[in-house]
Structure 1
Amino acid sequence: MEFGICNLTIVPLRAEESHRSEMVSQLLFGEAFEILTKSKDWTKVRTEMDSYVGWIQNGQFLAITDDQYEEYQSLSKIKIGFAGGHLINNDLCIQLLHGTIVRKDFPYIGVDHLVELNAIELHFEQEDFIEQVAILAKQYWEVPYLWGGRSKFGIDCSGFSQLIYQSFGISLPRDAYQQVELGQTVDFLSEIQVGDLAFFDNEEGRINHVGIMLDSETIIHASSRVRIDRMDQEGIFNRDWNKYTHKLRIIKRYV
């Protein structure tokens, strides 16, 4: 079995082995994956975090041995907060984004250890979720929507919910239709708590959107941009367009 680690700030994970192919997700610096198959310019991988499968361009990751992978898993983790930071080694400086998890003493560039960490660490714990989740989620307000995105440079709806929950040590799958399969159903809107996820479906009944509840009537979600809207039993009401844009299907709680 072969493994790799993303050693750039953020790189695309594509549906097929082509730059023109759909970007289905992204890999952040330090994220590990299993290598499934290789071609001349691309490598098909399965991510360690959420078992997502896609293609990454050769040259955008560091290949490691089984022993190095085991060593990597044993190292202590440093979670990077919203302010981000940098890893520095001589003239090399790698930007770190929120959601990045760094193992400080690992030779990511295959030459030397990146020894200087200049970053704001994230200290949220799961027990802080109710108090802190809205504060963290609102820091993404006005971030542009990007299909497959997972950062403050561009993010999609399920990438947003996954990233925010991950900050509290709570693992969610990558896509909304997968996330909705987990958690406990909230039966009434009046029972919604901050941090609950609201899921929405299309005309065919397929889950196609997710957002994070700030209270029983307010949702933050990625649609064109990360925005805050009102929500009721019918769905999300977009005040800019003066209409409902997403039809509510179900509310789920994970904490």
Structure 2
Amino acid sequence: MVLSACNLNILPLRAEASHRSEMVTQVLFGEAFEILEEGVDFDRIRLLDTSYEGWIQRHQSGQLATLPPTKHIIGLAGGKAHSTTHTVQLLHGTPVPSNSLQIGSELYTIEGAVREGTLDDFDVEFPKLIQHYNNSPYLWGGRSPYGIDCSGFSQVVYRHFGIALRRDAWQQAESGDTVNFLPEIKAGDLAFFDNEAGRITHVGVMIDNETIIHAAGRVRIDKMDTEGIFNDQQNKYTHKLRIVKRYF
């Protein structure tokens, strides 16, 4: 298997080989994937960390000689990857080696806020994450403060603390331990919500046992009870609670 990685700060992964096609997720700098099919303008790829498949435009990646370690990420202050010919602005959550990364012919030096994921500083870092992402616009498939969806938000929060989640809300709900009673909810627990067909379609991160931060229109903070999320601005429940899960 030949491995490649994104050599831009962020790029769309699309459902079909077209710029007009739905963006199913985004690929961050250095994230590794295998190329399943080469096309004229687009390549079909499979991401190594989530097994997500889709199409990226050609020439937005380079071959990896070795699979880089991913226990470090770019912290909230951001960072840069420098080569002799390129500088790439790195977004929070970008997985990086601690010092350098070879993509294709370019050797990038990593600078900035490099963080090793740990839960030791959860009480200090979790409020910073809330402040960093609050009011970010909702974007289907998005994974950055410039546009993010609900499961992208929970994924990047957990990545900050060294915990890997799958990409979609329903996939994330398949792991973790169930929290049976709302008074037992702790900061960082994930709450999942379903539609009328019973399919999990939404996820948010609990701030405490009655407050949730989630991406719906924008990243926002709302109240939650046994019925679901209550939006004060709309004066109604917007999401029906299905289950709460704990991962640490």
Task: Calculate the TM-score normalised by the size of structure 1.
Answer: 0.91
- Of residues 161, 171, 192, the one that matches 1:168 is 161
Is the Cα–Cα contact under 8 Å of residues 158 and 210 in structure 1 kept in the other structure? yes
Q: Does the C-alpha gap of structure 1 residues 76 and 170 become closer, same or farther in structure 2, counting only changes over 3 Å?
A: closer
Give the counterpart of 2:115 among 122, 143, 165: 122
Q: After superposition, where does 1:173-184 map in structure 2 within 5 Å?
A: 173-184=166-177
- The alpha carbon displacement at 1:41 in A equals 1.2
Give the % identical residues. 55
Of 204, 229, 233 in structure 2, the residue corresponding to residue 240 of structure 1 is 233
Contact (CA 8 Å) 1:134, 1:195: kept in 2 or not? no
Going by fraction, where is strand more abundant, 1 or 2?
A: 2
- 1:34 aligned partner: 34
Unaligned runs of at least 5 residues, structure 1: none
Runs of 4+ in 1 over 6 A off after TM superposition: none
Structure 2, unpaired ranges of 5+: none
Instruction: State which of 97, 102, 106 in structure 2 corresponds to 1:107.
Output: 102
Q: CA deviation at 1:114?
A: 2.2
Aligned to 1:220: 213
Q: What RMSD over aligned residues (CA atoms) do the two structures have, in Å?
A: 1.7
Secondary structure of 1:72's aligned partner: coil
Cα distance 1:59–1:112, how it changes in 2: closer, same or farther (>3 A)?
A: closer
CA offset at residue 130 of structure 1? 5.2
SS of residue paired to 1:241:
coil
Query: Which residue of 193, 196, 201 maps to 1:203?
Result: 196
CA distance in 2, matches of 1:129, 1:183: 18
Displacement after TM superposition at 1:123 (Å) = 4.2
Q: Give the distance between the partners of 2:81 and 2:115, measured in 1 at CA.
A: 16
Q: Distance in 2 between matches of 1:162 and 1:77?
A: 15
Q: 1:129 to 1:105 in 2, by over 3 A?
A: same
Matched, 1:49 2:62: no
Identify the match of residue 91 of structure 2 among 90, 97, 100.
97
Shift of 1:131: 5.2
